[in-house]
Structure formats: structure tokens, C-alpha cells
Amino acid sequence: MTAANDPVLLSFEDLKGWRDHDVAPAIKAFCSTCDQLDSKNWQRVCAALNTHKTPKALIEAHMLPVQVSAGQSMVFTGYFEPEIRSQLEPDDQFKHPIYAPPPEMAGNTPWLTREQIETTGVLKDRGLEIAWLSDPTEVFFLQIQGSGRLKFPNGDVLRVGFAAKNGHPYRSVGKEMIRRGLVPEAEMSAETIANWIRQNPRAGRQLMQHNPSYVFFRENAELEANEGPVGFMGRALTPERSIAVDPEHIPLGAFVWIEKEGENPLNQLLVAQDVGSAIKGPNRADIFYGTGGAAGDIAGRTRDSGRMVVLLPRTLALKVIGRIE
């Protein structure tokens, strides 16, 4: 008998919208990280997709859809690459820095908490500042997103991405606001959080410190302007084709088919190419929506149910569901 949360083998006919779906954009994203899939089963798929003229038929012939945990509905959220006005030197307006990781933190995590970092001044005046922002909420949300484009007054743009974190677990500020009765759950969004913090600066600072996790950045000068930010697999992410998952449950680099409900429903093939501090368990995933304000609006409103199915090479799929040893 199959337990409620055991992996379940599906057919491609079970995937809503699969028959009419254009798989080409997802295949392009998939091939960008194919070289990191090191098993022979995956490499056969990678080699075939690079030359095959009918890729959907190849996927159907060589892969099987597996719903990793069928007993629970998915929770889909969204993330994006913000564009933020910044300066390389501080002044009375731009006085909130983003930092490169301090050398003493390496191999010494968990390190200080967010509150300890912000109240002790342990990072100040050490040459670790990459740039200065005008709004502490932008620093906070840049850390949550993990990457951004810093726009300077002279028109230059600096791409920054995740370098390290302090080793403390991520805690949701939105959930804490709901728990305290500050905002109804139905009204919760990234914009709601940011507006409340701006309107309540002292309490807002304490609220942000409820999340002890703190992210450090590095410059990504090698990225082209038309490329997405770098994900966990070291390659540029593709809007609405790259997704962050928990690699304990979904193999990084794998195709995933999502059926997301809500305001902006999606039945679409994506690729698991990133991770996130808040993305834990087989029923959590974070969709990358792109760069800038429009992508941020969609990402900030996304908290939807649905299901996610991972496409695995046939031998691996049969192992996962226990049909072969």
C-alpha cells in the first residue's frame, strides 16, 4: 500500500496542459546546467536534447513524471532580481550598506545573528561595504531575493549576488506579522511588509531582526545585461523557467512540471536551478519571475497552491518509486 506522502508515478497525460505546451524555453534553460548532472542516466538525456528535433517526444520516451509527495498541496512563492538606486559612497540619504562577507566568518557558522550584526557595528569601516542604499527595507529584501542590480547616479549598473550567509535559519517576517495581528493573512504581501516597516521604523527594525539570517554579497561583473542573476548552480536564471527547490527532495538541474493556481496560474515546464533559505520540504518552491518592478509585483503577490511533478530518467524514476532496487 502506498503511504500518503510517498512518491507517485504519473503519466504525461496526467499533466494539465502538457500536450499543448512549448517545451523549448525550458529545454534551453535545462541545457545550461546539463554538465552538472553527473549520472549516465541524466547525461543520455542531455546529449539527446542537444540534437533532437522533437524534444517533447524525447522527454516522453526517456523520462517519467513523479510527484514526489502527493499527499500535500504545494506552496508556490516567487522571487525576482530588484533594481535599486545606490551609491558607492555614503551620504545623509544613502547610509544603509550591503556587505561582502567578513573573513572571520568563513568556516565559523552559525556566526552572529542579524540583530547582533546590526547593533554591534561589527562590520563597519572595514572596507566590506559594496554599496550604500537609501532604505533599510531594500537591504532586507535584497537579502531575501539574493541578487540585484544596483543603479548608480551616473547610469552605471552593478550586478550583485549571494556570497555567503551567517548560518542562522530563515524566519518569515510575514508569518510573524500575521501572528502578532499586525496584518490579516489575506492582505499579506512583500509590499505590505515593506510599507508597514517604513511607516513604523523603530518597530520595523525589530521586526526585521526577527529573522536572524543575514546574507552577504559579491559583485557579478561577468554577467551580461540581458542575463538573469546567477543561481545556486552557478548559471544565469531564466524568468519563469528557473525555480528554487529543496535539493533534499528535488534534484537540482531536473525538469519540473508545475500546476500553480491563484492570480497568475501557470501550467509550465521549469528547471530546478536554485535553492532558498525558506524553501524546505518537497512541497515548497520559489519561481524566478525576472528583473525589475513588474517581476517584483508578481513575485510579491505569489503564494499559491498547486502541485509540482519532477521529470526523471526512467531508471531513476523507477528507483524513486521502489519498482527497482
Q: What does the pLDDT read at residue 109? A: 79
| CATH top class, domain 8-78+229-320 | mainly beta
Mean pLDDT of 172-189: 93
Average pLDDT over residues 254-271: 95
The pLDDT value recorded for residue 40 is: 87
What average pLDDT does the segment 169-175 reach? 94
Q: How many angstroms separate the CA atoms of 193 and 59, rounded?
A: 42
Whether 325 has a pLDDT exceeding 60, the answer reads no
Instruction: State percent of the chain over pLDDT 90.
Output: 79
Predicted local distance difference test score (pLDDT) of residue 4: 56
Residues 17-26: what's their mean pLDDT?
A: 95
Of 276, 270, 277, 266, nearest to 253 by C-alpha is 270
Give the global pTM.
0.89
Question: Up-side HSE of residue 4: CA atoms within 13 Å toward CB?
Answer: 3
- In a 3-state reduction of DSSP, which class is residue 194? helix
Residue of 96, 147, 105 lying closest to 124 (CA atoms): 96
Q: Sorting pLDDT into bands at 50, 70 and 90, what band is 324?
A: low
pLDDT, tens digit, 9 for 90 and up, residues 115-164 = 999 999 999 999 999 999 999 999 999 999 999 999 999 999 999 999 99
Residues 6 or more apart whose CB falls under 8 angstroms from that of 9 comprise 64, 65, 66, 317, 321, 323
What integer pLDDT is reported at residue 277 of this predicted model?
86
pLDDT, position 1: 38
Give which of 276, 259, 256 is closest to 170, Cα–Cα. 276
Mean pLDDT along residues 74-99: 96
In the chain, CATH 2.40.240.50 sits at: 81-219
CATH 3.40.50.300 is held by the domain 81-219: no
Q: Which tens digits make up the pLDDT trace of 36-65?
A: 998 888 988 888 887 767 889 989 998 999
Is the confidence at residue 267, as pLDDT, over 90?
A: yes
Where, residue-wise, is CATH 2.40.40.10 in the chain? 8-78+229-320
Q: Average model confidence (pLDDT) for the chain?
A: 92
In this predicted structure, what is the pLDDT of residue 106?
86
